[in-house]
Structure 1
């Protein structure tokens, strides 16, 4: 009997902590709204846990997170939102700032998420964050413009097919409607999507070598050059891309699935005119999946209510209910089983009654892993310049351009170029 009493006493604190207290969550913009949308159903399970979602703005969350970790965990929330491509900055600089979620049970959830989502959230055998939303890449397209140009999206299986379709678009509209807009000189997002599709990235998955000049990346950069050479794409920054699709100057937009909300909210008058198809492959029968963007939730070690914080993570991220509730608020699920939810299988009116989420989430298991490392931004800045210079003709070949990029990234990060 004494042993049972002692055991109960040992278990009571963690049980009580998981069912009471206040959990403060830092996030931003629509992400904060998505998290807030899960609170009512969470409180049905845990009525005595108050969840306070604070929208600090993206950059402010990142800056205050770095400052808090540098100060030993001072002024950090119970749940911290973090973008995947920035996550490894924290693990590298402040390995003791966040809880290893394996100690709270995350190791039992590993197979519930695609492997690529864990790559940047794990370091030294520890899982410092749980996958939240993802950015499976697809091609969003204007049904009416494609139809007028005589283009059937079902026949666009490769980038060669996409270029051929672009020539039809140019013929129909006299060059006034291009197939898509690329942020050349502003970002390298198209390069990252195509490289990821081809199983290549700035660094290897171990984060020990620069691999940006490997064949898959060379193919990616060469494809972008061919799109420009064929005159089927326009150039524009984030705002320019939105302006183009709103004005009907571009017939497609390739992004992570979170861009669905960007199109729908910026062009409500185009409801029913849009559809979705898989990104073209680099070769016949090749992969048609990649990821762009996505984030995760972590628990700072300084949290006084870790058990309750983890209960919120489990509900929001590891249940179909939590993930689909956020999907309705512009948060794209990472949880694999969410793809089988009834809502995911519904036709979406804005998208011409297409079951777009079945198409989009169906690619999650096919996305190759990619590692940004703590040097993601350094590599990205190099590639933005190198890509733009290659398009201008500064380099003779994509391989020459990426060999130069590899040297510059190596110089900036101290990592060797892969032999």
Structure 2
């Protein structure tokens, strides 16, 4: 058996080498900001495998990529690149409106890679049995915290296992700093990101995983909204939009920040003077022994059906996204958090990070990937999100008697906006 396996590998080696030499031409990629820079960082490694393929990464900006993608698909694929960057929560807009605009990656070999990524990353990238994009980065949720502020308040992060523990710690922070420092900052009236993180943690989301029903009034979502109200009523959190949250971080007015792991770069670049003062721990659970994992954000790469160099484009996807080396390169260069499970074993992941007090934060962060529940945004994600932003704000103002009542109202509104029935 071993001899047969060896002969098989030897037979495949010339074929792989032949493909490396025969693939040629130009592969154009549309992306944005640090994501574009991260992709660019993988090009040298790709060209060592495929020296005859030129890769051009074009930074168009996030909104422009989305808008031009919609326009290109509406025009039958005209003027689209070979590889298209797409955020997970916007992906299903394309699959629903333009089912023929992108290549089914299963036809190029993606079906062999399914188990190499956590299941939750494929949920929004698959439709009608087709895989229209390959997982890229992810947003496993963790709690970032100020070591010095916790220590001054006598709070041990290792003792925070549930949201009850988090609230108790917040009261100690209030006492220590006279209310000038809060345990965290929650967007309220501008976003519902904390609701989404907590709902996902509890196995609930706006829609079911089949994308057929509105499920926002189910128990896990009720628990999520109740938790936010408890934090708010206990006066342990501040409220602020994206800019306000960063301002609080820079000014030392927040002792913690809960976000997808991509927020690591936001803290590090906006507060370079706080080097060594920050650490990371798992998000608290809703109950003792409950799940401490969730996801917020993340992107994927798709190949438009109009691409004239699909073989080379897919070869780039495999190198950048489906190898530990490719994903680790993007983590090192721009802090993009890998989706590939094998990347958790890359040596860089085990390295202490100086900014984070020499904590091995990537081991903590990536260790949660396999525990994240699946969630489906559907093509109606933004409709549901806008309704929940208002519902959450109104609930915190006392305009609903209970979280269940608030979410039942949100479910009816989402159903009206989308045409999907409310789950019973």
TM category, shorter: over 0.9
2:417 counterpart (384, 387, 412) = 412
1:243 counterpart (247, 252, 260) = 247
**1:255 deviation in Å?**
0.2
Equivalent position of 1:218 in the other structure = 222
**1:15 deviation in Å?**
4.2
Equivalent position of 1:7 in the other structure = none
**Structure 2 Cα separation of the partners of residues 196 and 321 of structure 1:** 29
Within the alignment, does 1:334 sit opposite 2:339 as a pair?
yes
For residues 327-369 of structure 1, what are the alpha-carbon distances to aligned partners after superposition, in whole Å with 9 as ceiling and x for unaligned?
0112100000100110000000000000000000000000000
**Structure 1 Cα separation of the partners of residues 23 and 48 of structure 2:** 11
Contact 1:17 1:308 in 2 (8 A): no
**Structure 2 Cα separation of the partners of residues 204 and 29 of structure 1:** 32
2:201 counterpart (179, 197, 204) = 197
**Structure 2 Cα separation of the partners of residues 93 and 276 of structure 1:** 40
Within the alignment, does 1:363 sit opposite 2:368 as a pair?
yes
Contact 1:131 1:334 in 2 (8 A): yes
Equivalent position of 1:5 in the other structure = none
Within the alignment, does 1:185 sit opposite 2:185 as a pair?
no
For residues 74-109 of structure 1, what are the alpha-carbon distances to aligned partners after superposition, in whole Å with 9 as ceiling and x for unaligned?
010000000000000000000000000000000000
Contact 2:20 2:50 in 1 (8 A): no
Within the alignment, does 1:344 sit opposite 2:337 as a pair?
no
TM-score normalised to the size of structure 2?
Answer: 0.95
**Structure 2 Cα separation of the partners of residues 16 and 66 of structure 1:** 33
Q: Secondary structure at the match of 2:405?
A: helix
**1:292 deviation in Å?**
0.0
**Structure 2 Cα separation of the partners of residues 394 and 17 of structure 1:** 66
**Structure 1 Cα separation of the partners of residues 132 and 366 of structure 2:** 24
Equivalent position of 2:87 in the other structure = 83
Contact 1:210 1:410 in 2 (8 A): yes
**Structure 1 Cα separation of the partners of residues 271 and 178 of structure 2:** 24
Q: Secondary structure at the match of 2:81?
A: coil
2:28 counterpart (24, 30, 35) = 24
Contact 2:105 2:132 in 1 (8 A): yes
Structure 2 residue runs without a partner (length 5+): 1-14
Structure 1 residue runs without a partner (length 5+): 1-10
Q: Give runs of ≥4 in structure 1 deviating > 2 Å.
A: 14-18
Q: Secondary structure at the match of 1:343?
A: helix
TM-score normalised to the size of structure 1?
Answer: 0.96
Equivalent position of 1:158 in the other structure = 162
